[in-house]
Structure 1
Amino acid sequence: MISIITISFNAETYIEHTVRSILSQSDGKFEFILVDGASKDGTVALVQRIVSEIKFPEERFICISEKDNGVYDAMNKGVLAAHGDFVLFMNGGDSFYAHDVISTFKRIIPLREADAYYGNTMMEFYEGRGIRHENEEWHQDWIMPFIHQSVIVKRKLLMEHPFNLSYRILADREFFYWMRKNGCAFHYENFIVSNYDAREGMSENNPYLIAIEGDRILGLDKKPFYWLRKLRWRCTKAPIQFIKDHAPRKWLNWYFLKKRKNIIWQEKY
C-alpha cells in the first residue's frame, strides 16, 4: 500500500484542489494522511468534509492537527503515522497530474525492484508551464533529480533516517543523499506524476541558503578555506532574490526561459 501524506498550515484557500486530486485517484486502495500544524482557519474541517463527501474509507484516513517545528517535522510525523510500504508527500497547493498515478506506480513496483520510484513533474513558473524531465541518467542533479511530490519511497527508509530538522530547506535532499551513499536503488519511469507550483516557497526564494545547505550535505563546509566559497555565494546567490523582486518581469522571463534547460515547455507566458 502507498501512503499519501499532505502537510498543511492555514491552507483553507488552496488545499481543496490538492485533496480532491488525491481522493480522485482511480486506484482507491491507498492511505491518506493529513498532518496539519494546528491551523487557525478551516483547513482541517474542509479536508474532513471532502473526505466524507467522497466517502473515502475512514480506516485509511488519518488526521493529525497539532503544532510542529516546521514542514520537515510534520513530514516525519506523517511517516510515523503511516502504514504503507511506500510514502509519497503531496503538500497543500500541489496535485496529481492524472487520476491513474497511484495505479501506475503499483503496476511498476512488481516489475522492477527499487527503494524509490519516480517520474516527471508539470512545473508552473512565472515565465511559463512545462514538464521537468527527471531522468537521472542525464540530469545534472544526480542526488535528487525529482521533487518529493513525484517520488514514492520505502517507508522503512524514512523511519531509519528521518528528515534532519537542522536543515530549513534541503532536508529531503539530505535524505536522498543518504540513500545514494547507502546504495539504495532508484527507478525512473517516464510519466508525469504531479503538478507543482514553483513560483513561490522556500526553495524558490532562498538561493543563498540553498547553496549553503547543499554544501553542508556534501561536506564541503568542512573543507579548508570554505569561507571563500561562502563569500562567493554571498556575492552571487544572495542578490538573486533582490533582483527577482525588482527586475522587470519581461527580463526575468527571458532569463529563466534560457536557464531552465531541463524543462520541456508546454506554454510560455
Structure 2
Amino acid sequence: MISVVTVTWNAENFISDTIVSVCKQKNRNFEFLLIDGASKDNTVNRVKSLLHEGNFPKENIVIVSERDKGMVDAMNKGVSRSKGDYVLFLNGGDSFYDENVIDKLEETINKVGADVIYGRTMMIFYEGRGIYNENEEYGDPIMPFIHQSVIVKRNLLLKHPFDLSYKILGDRELFYWLRINKYTFHYEPYIVSIYDAREGGSENNPYLIAIEGDRILGLDKKTFYWLRKLRWRCTKAPIQFIKNNAPRKWLNWYFLRKRKNIEWVEKY
C-alpha cells in the first residue's frame, strides 16, 4: 500500500486541487495523511469536507493538526504515522496528474519493487508550464525528479529521517544518502504530479540552496570554503532581488531559455 502525505499550514485557499485529485483516484486502496501545523485558517475543516464529498474511505484517512518545527518535521511525522509500504509527499497546492496515478505506481511496485520509484512532473512556472525532463545519465545524478513524483520505501524513511537542519534541501540530503548507500532507483516515463513551482522555496532561495547543496556533498568542510561561499554570496544572493524587482516580461524571456530541462506544453 502507498501512503500519501500532505503537509499544510494555512492552506485553505490552495488545498482544494490537492484533495480533489486524491479523491479522484480510481484505485482507492491507499492511505491519505494530512499533517497540519495547527493552521489558523479553515484548512483542516476544508480538507475533511472535500474528503467527505469525494467519498474517500474513512478507514484510510489520518488527520493530525498540531504545532511542529516546520515542513521537514511534519514530513517525518507523516512517515511515522503512516502504514504504507511506500510513501509519497504531495504538497498542499500540488496535485496528482490524473486519476490513474496510484494504479500506475502500484503496477510498477509489483513489477520492480525498487527502493525508490519515480516518474515525471508537470511543472507550472510564471512563464509557462511543461514536463520536467531529466534523467540520471545527463541530468541531476541525485534528484532527476521532483519529490512530489517519487515514492520511497517507508522503512528507509524511518531509518534515515529528513534532517531538520536543512531549510530547503532536506529531501535532497535524503536522496543523496540513498544513492551513496546503493539503494535501488527505478524510473517510469508517466507523469505523476502537477507541481506549482512559482512560490516554492527551491525557486526563491538560490543562495541558501547553493549553501545547503555544498553541505550535502561535504564541500563546506574543504579548506578555503569561505571563498566558495563568498562566490555564492556575490552570484546567487542577488538573483532573488532581481526576480523580485525585474519586469515579469523580462524574467519570462530569460527563464524560457534557461530551463532547458523542461519540455514546454504551454508558454504564457
**TM-score calculated relative to the size of structure 1:** 0.98
The aligned runs of 1:145-160 (5 Å cut-off) are: 145-160=144-159
1:44 aligns with 2:44: yes
**Which residue number in structure 1 is paired with residue 119 of structure 2?**
119
* Aligned residues of 1:121 and 1:193 also touching (Cα < 8 A): yes
- Structure 2 SS opposite 1:194: strand
Segments of 4+ moved more than 6 angstroms: none
**Which residue number in structure 1 is paired with residue 242 of structure 2?**
243
2-structure distance, mates of 1:130, 1:227: 37
- Structure 2 SS opposite 1:35: strand
**Which residue number in structure 1 is paired with residue 15 of structure 2?**
15
**Which residue number in structure 2 is paired with residue 199 of structure 1?**
198
- Stretches of structure 1 that go unaligned for 5 or more consecutive residues are none
**Which residue number in structure 2 is paired with residue 60 of structure 1?**
60
What is the CA deviation profile of residues 174-210 of structure 1, one whole-angstrom value per residue up to 9, with x for unaligned ones?
0000000100110000011100111112111100000
* Aligned residues of 1:121 and 1:132 also touching (Cα < 8 A): yes
1-structure distance, mates of 2:45, 2:253: 42
- Structure 2 SS opposite 1:122: strand
**Which residue number in structure 2 is paired with residue 189 of structure 1?**
188
* Aligned residues of 1:212 and 1:230 also touching (Cα < 8 A): yes
* Aligned residues of 1:208 and 1:233 also touching (Cα < 8 A): yes
2-structure distance, mates of 1:212, 1:171: 13
**TM-score calculated relative to the size of structure 2:** 0.98
> What is the Cα deviation at residue 89 of structure 1?
0.4
* Aligned residues of 2:204 and 2:240 also touching (Cα < 8 A): yes
2-structure distance, mates of 1:91, 1:103: 20
* Aligned residues of 2:118 and 2:145 also touching (Cα < 8 A): yes
> What is the Cα deviation at residue 70 of structure 1?
0.3
> Match for 1:60: what amino acid?
N
1:143 aligns with 2:124: no
- Stretches of structure 2 that go unaligned for 5 or more consecutive residues are none
1:267 aligns with 2:266: yes
> What is the Cα deviation at residue 16 of structure 1?
1.1
* Aligned residues of 1:119 and 1:134 also touching (Cα < 8 A): no
**Which residue number in structure 2 is paired with residue 162 of structure 1?**
161
- Structure 1 SS opposite 2:84: coil
**Which residue number in structure 2 is paired with residue 176 of structure 1?**
175
The aligned runs of 1:23-102 (5 Å cut-off) are: 23-102=23-102
* Aligned residues of 2:135 and 2:141 also touching (Cα < 8 A): no
The aligned runs of 1:220-235 (5 Å cut-off) are: 220-235=219-234
What is the CA deviation profile of residues 52-86 of structure 1, one whole-angstrom value per residue up to 9, with x for unaligned ones?
22222221100000000000000000000000000
> Match for 2:250: what amino acid?
W
- Structure 2 SS opposite 1:55: coil
> What is the Cα deviation at residue 134 of structure 1?
3.5
2-structure distance, mates of 1:128, 1:54: 30
> Match for 2:45: what amino acid?
A
1-structure distance, mates of 2:87, 2:246: 40
> What is the Cα deviation at residue 136 of structure 1?
1.9
> Match for 2:21: what amino acid?
S
Moved more, 183-192 or 104-113: 104-113
Moved more, 128-137 or 144-153: 128-137
1:128 aligns with 2:144: no
The aligned runs of 1:206-221 (5 Å cut-off) are: 206-221=205-220
> Match for 1:220: what amino acid?
L
> What is the Cα deviation at residue 51 of structure 1?
1.6
- Structure 2 SS opposite 1:162: coil
* Aligned residues of 2:120 and 2:132 also touching (Cα < 8 A): yes
* Aligned residues of 2:72 and 2:163 also touching (Cα < 8 A): yes
- Structure 2 SS opposite 1:44: helix
* Aligned residues of 1:121 and 1:131 also touching (Cα < 8 A): yes
> Match for 1:239: what amino acid?
P
- The aligned length equals 268
The aligned runs of 1:248-259 (5 Å cut-off) are: 248-259=247-258
2-structure distance, mates of 1:45, 1:248: 38
> Match for 2:159: what amino acid?
E
> Match for 1:76: what amino acid?
N
